[in-house]
Structure 1
Amino acid sequence: MSYQALYRVWRPQSFIDVVGQEHVTKTLQNALLQQKISHAYLFSGPRGTGKTSAAKILAKAVNCERAPISEPCNECPSCRGITDGSIPDVIEIDAASNNGVEEIRDIRDKVKYAPNAVKYKVYIVDEVHMLSIGAFNALLKTLEEPPKHVIFILATTEPHKIPLTIISRCQRFDFKRITAQAIVGRMKLIVEETGVECDEQALQIIARAAEGGMRDALSLLDQAISFSEDSVTIEDALTVTGAVSQGYLNKLAKAVMERDAASGLGFLEELLAQGKDPSRFVEDFILYYRDMLLFKAAPRLEESLERVMLDEDFQSLANEMNPEELYELIEVLNKAQQEMRWTNHPRIFLEVAIVKLCQLQKSKVQEFSGDLQPLLQKIQHLEQEISDLKRQGITLQDEAQPTVQKKPQRSSRKGFQAPVGKINEILKQATKNDLMAIKSKWSEMLNRLVHNQMRSQAALLNEAEPVAASENAFIIKFKYEIHCQMAMDNAKFLDTLSNTMFELFGKRIQMVGIPDEQWQKIREDFLHTQRDGEAGDEVHQNEEEPLIAEAKKIFGEELVEIIE
């Protein structure tokens, strides 16, 4: 057959043609120029990344008649003989089929003979990890101290299977996956040289399907050229690679985002009718959402995207999705992928996954909307009430009294100190009717505090009671000083209590707390300093006598009857 596959025709013949492995080729070129060639090399890395090609290029470079040079000339008889395989001093061994002890012993016996046509005898052992333990042991001593005219180059895709005793005797070079951009650049050069018309997006699809292997990419390109008629189109590349077009993925992702299970299942049915593999499709869909997540995190790192191309539909969907939703979608699809591996009907799990994605999104959005709507309605209602109050000429407390003390009364080292001046001002204006009005609403106020999730604060008022009240303020007496301090230091509690009193009385009423012991002393001092008898009588009428209060404490308020 005269026709050769593209990856054979375009196999690299110089280090400059080895794409994406500059860290390896530059090191080897410097070693060639400085004549620091090692006796053994280990080339490891994924398939199709240039390990065997680099080994043959190195074999030509060390045996080139123009050495020392960084690149083989590919013109001298040595380079041409190694390229076409006519020189027997460069031996390629497939360890997958020659992995026994006898084959390695044969190499060990022949390694001592000098080369016939070139300066160095080079052994290239491919898939060296397939050798048996006995074969490795037979190779060990020869690999460590070979004759000066022998170079070993070992190539493998699974270096972890090679004994450490072998690895330690070699210079190791790790070949990495070739980026999609580098693969596209190499394929552009090939199609230009061969005169084949090819869509650039088709090349990108092939490069991403190759998963970092140049040989895989050239094989797919060769197949796409044979499949196409005049030029390689996007559809040709999708058909050859078995991938799903991004347009379908965008449509399906939009259906999931809009919670339209019917459309999602319709798109899925259309794809499966075209012969797409369900397992391959779910992998493409996971990579699609993975790329969307990476795009949202780092929009400029386009090279990190494995599956998608940044078209307008993809970017629009990415802007509408949040990372939490993408985490959920990837988790559901990953679980479906695991279940599909152990079933004879993967289509069923794929359809269930699509429906689950739509319902998952729907439940999340409905839950969020259900929590948010009542809050928005309450905010609008409060804004309307404030607007009505302002139209009636009523100013809010924060607007009318901007200089009101904002910080609650703090305790000193001696304990809580009640504001004596403020309490005396309240006592001067106190009336019995105001006090009875506060007491009549006291139990209802406690119930509202409990309803507003202030149970712990409401418990502080169980041992407290109003003892004096004026039109705009009242005094509340606490049985224990610590309870008074905790209540007066809690700004949130004071705001909630003020709002509750406003709801009950329709006006702002200031509250002042005082411990029981301090109340008795302040009350007595106030009564003694009053020169006006009427003021003293009014306070006596508003407040309970100590004897009456003590009787209530001993016998209970329901058993004590007061006769005026």
Structure 2
Amino acid sequence: MSYLVLARKCRPQVFEEVLGQGHVTRTLQNALKTNRTAHAYLFSGPRGVGKTTVARILAKALNCQEGPTPVPCNRCVSCQEITQGISLDVQEIDGASNRGIDDIRELRESIKYLPARSRYKIYIIDEVHMLTGEAFNALLKTLEEPPRHALFIFATTELNKVPLTIYSRCQVFHFRRVALNAVVDHLKTLCAREGVEADERALRLIAKQAEGSVRDSLSLLDQILAFSPEEITEEKVQEILGFVDRRIINDTAWAVLENDGKRLLSRIAEVYEFGYDLKQFLRDLVDYLRNLLLIQLDAGEGSPADFTPEELAEMREKAGKVSPEVLEEVLHFLVRAEGELRRAPQPRLALEMTLLRAARIKEFVPVEEVLERLERTKEASSDNGKGKTSSFSAPPQVREEEPFYSNPSPSPRIARPEFEGEREGSSKGDPFPREKFLEFVRSRYLPLAAYLSHGVPRWAEDNLLEWDFREEPFQLRLLEANGNQKKLEDLVREFFRREIRVVCLGEDKKAAKANKKSDLPSPRGKRLSIQTVLTQPQIKDLIDIFQAEVAEIRLPQER
């Protein structure tokens, strides 16, 4: 073909032309100046950042007729043959297709012979990590003690797959991703050389999509030049490469931060109708929010390098409307949601639900605040002493009978009847010391105090104490079900230091039988009544903290 793509046409021919790898090129040039070149090099890094290009330049520098020199002439026969890829003494081997032990055996046989024309025989093996284990083992001895005229240059994108035995025999250089601004400047230079007018925003979009790969950026530029040979604008780049308009991304991000569900769904529908990739749209949204967070945290001037100065000024102006904590929570949520979106059978629905939930993050109460409110409620409960108990008051024996509720939402709290101390019989005039007695019971047996706190005590006779549970029949059944009647009489006798008979009053037998069927959990899975659940102090405390209501009751075995 007569046409040569930009990635090949504009390939660097000397070390100074290599973008963003100064730490590598400077070291190699100094090694050439001082005649300290190694017999084996290993270049690692992302795709399209110059590993094979630097390997070719190093081969030219070593075999140049004016060399070894840090600046190859590119005019001699050796330099031109290496540039064209036809040199007999510089062999480029694809490690992915020549990966077996037989290929390495052939290499070991050919390496014995002197170079045909050049100073060194150089083997450049690309994607060296693709070689088999047997091929690596066959290469070890030759790599450790190669002939004086031989030199190896390995390139790989996955350094972790290269055996340590190979790694330790090479000088290793790590290639970096090229900075976005450097790629943009390089694209500007190429467009000017090609006589094409290019908008800086359009070039930034190309450089951002390339993700630090110079080769990828040149391939994208080639594609866009085929679409629009005379002028490159942001709209044309978005059209040909399928990018979402940045204004849509910005508006969607602020719809999330401002909890505007209607605008959010409208933007998602617009993106879907245009046929954009929803996963890429979510990644662009996360990238915008990340840049907004960097601006808020003042993480260096110009950290979000893919924005123009006007866009940065607008983002700084808006950044004060949302706290960094909210941004961090939204980002954390969306990053985790990316994996779910990739696996979702309905990506649009998954994206809508994800962004709507992210928009409500500001409404969530922090865990620290919930714990603080819970602690205040517990302190108020202990100070009040009006029959409230902590959430740990239920005994282990009735754990399976504790109700479970779900789907909380705001609801008014049911008030508990207060005790009005009344004394009958021979001790008329003195109220029953309810609070002191309950405190005494708590010190002896906490669960019993929890049950008693729901009843009203009164003297029937001098030696007869009635504990009225007619307002709280459920607590009476719990008390009787665990054999606490005898414990209560013993504690009363110990507290008053005399023989006193205790009678617990509840509903009549007919009503009790009906309530027992409806209130107490049974093996058949009968439901507890909401009214009964609301009388429990644990439930009341939770309702206060979470502003909730009991909407449904499930037994433990039904969870």
Whether the TM-score (by the shorter chain) exceeds 0.5 is: yes
Q: Specify which structure has the higher proportion of helix.
A: 1
Pair 1:204-2:207 in alignment: no
Partner of 1:166 in structure 2?
166
Report the aligned-residue RMSD.
2.6
1:230 and 1:364, CA in 2 relative to 1: closer, same or farther beyond 3 A? farther
Instruction: Decide whether the 8 Å contact of 1:87 with 1:117 is kept in 2.
Output: no
Partners of 1:232 and 1:297 in 2: how far apart? 34
Match of 1:244 in 2: 244
Q: Does 1:89 align with 2:83?
A: no
The answer as to whether partners of 1:210 and 1:217 remain within 8 angstroms in 2 is yes
Question: Do 2:42 and 2:172's aligned partners in 1 also have CA atoms closer than 8 Å?
Answer: yes
Equivalent residue, structure 2, for 1:356: 357
Give ranges in structure 2 of 5+ residues lacking alignment.
373-378, 386-559
Once residues 330 and 383 of structure 2 are traced to their aligned partners in structure 1, the CA distance between those partners, rounded to angstroms, is 39
Q: How does 1:357-372 map to 2 (within 5 A)?
A: 357-362=358-363
- After superposition, what is the alpha-carbon deviation per residue over 1:404-453, rounded to whole angstroms, capped at 9, x for unaligned? xxxxxxxxxxxxxxxxxxxxxxxxxxxxxxxxxxxxxxxxxxxxxx9799
Which residue pairs with 1:347 in the alignment? 348
1:401-420 map, 5 Å: none
Instruction: Answer yes or no: is the 8 Å Cα contact 2:126–2:156 preserved in 1.
Output: yes
Alignment of 1:80-119 (within 5 A): 80-119=80-119
**Which residue in the other structure is 2:331 paired with?**
330
Equivalent position of 2:69 in the other structure: 69
Report the CA distance shift for 1:451/1:125 in structure 2 as closer, same or farther (over 3 A).
Answer: closer
| 1:184-217 deviation per Cα after TM superposition (whole angstroms, max 9, x unaligned) | 1111111111111110111111111111110011
SS of structure 1 residue aligned to 2:208: helix
Residues 112 and 282 (structure 1), Cα distance of their counterparts in 2 relative to 1, 3 Å cut: same
TM-score (norm 1): 0.63
Cα separation, 1, equivalents of 2:239 and 2:51: 30
- The within-5 A match list for 1:141-540 is 141-228=141-228, 230-298=230-298, 300-303=300-303, 305=305, 310-362=311-363
Contact 1:49–1:215 under 8 Å retained in 2: yes
User: Taking every aligned residue pair, what percent have the same amino acid on both sides?
Assistant: 45
Give distance in 2, aligned partners of 1:159 and 1:335: 27
Counterpart amino acid of 1:248?
Answer: I
Distance in structure 2 (CA, Å) of the matches to 1:289 and 1:361: 15
Which ranges of structure 1 fall in alignment gaps of 5 or more residues?
A: 372-449, 457-564
Between the aligned partners of 2:253 and 2:14, the Cα distance in structure 1 is 45
C-alpha contact 2:255 2:264 (8 A) present in aligned 1: yes
**Deviation digits for residues 300-342 of structure 1 (CA, Å, limit 9, x no counterpart):** 3424556787444422332212111112211221232121122
Q: Distance in 2 between matches of 1:80 and 1:343?
A: 53
Task: Note if contact 1:46-1:176 (Cα within 8 Å) is conserved in structure 2.
Answer: yes
Q: Counterpart in 2 of 1:561? A: none
CA contact (8 A) 2:256 2:358 kept: yes
Give distance in 1, aligned partners of 2:158 and 2:215. Answer: 18
Shift of 1:359: 3.0
How far has the Cα of 1:245 moved from its partner? 2.6
Number of the residue aligned with 1:398: none
Q: Is the 8 A contact 2:294 2:303 kept in 1?
A: no
Q: Secondary structure of the equivalent of 1:355? A: helix
How far the C-alpha of 1:360 sits from its partner, in A, is 3.0
Task: Please tell me the residue identity of whatever aligns with 1:63.
Answer: N
1:484-534 CA-partner distances (Å, limit 9, x unpaired): xxxxxxxxxxxxxxxxxxxxxxxxxxxxxxxxxxxxxxxxxxxxxxxxxxx
Q: Deviations over 1:466-501 (max 9, x none)?
A: xxxxxxxxxxxxxxxxxxxxxxxxxxxxxxxxxxxx
What's the CA shift for 1:6? 0.8
Contact map agreement 1:129 1:161 (CA 8 A) in 2: yes
1:16 — aligned with what?
A: 16
Q: CA separation in 1, counterparts of 2:381 and 2:166? A: 74
2:471 aligned partner: none
1:56 matches 2:56: yes
| Distance across 2 between alignment mates of 1:54 and 1:144 | 23
| Residue equivalent to 1:7 | 7
1:132 aligns with 2:132: yes
Change (3 A) 1:454 1:67: same
The aligned counterpart of 2:502 is: none
Q: CA deviation at 1:160?
A: 0.6
- SS of equivalent residue, structure 1 residue 205: helix
Deviation for aligned residue 1:234: 0.7
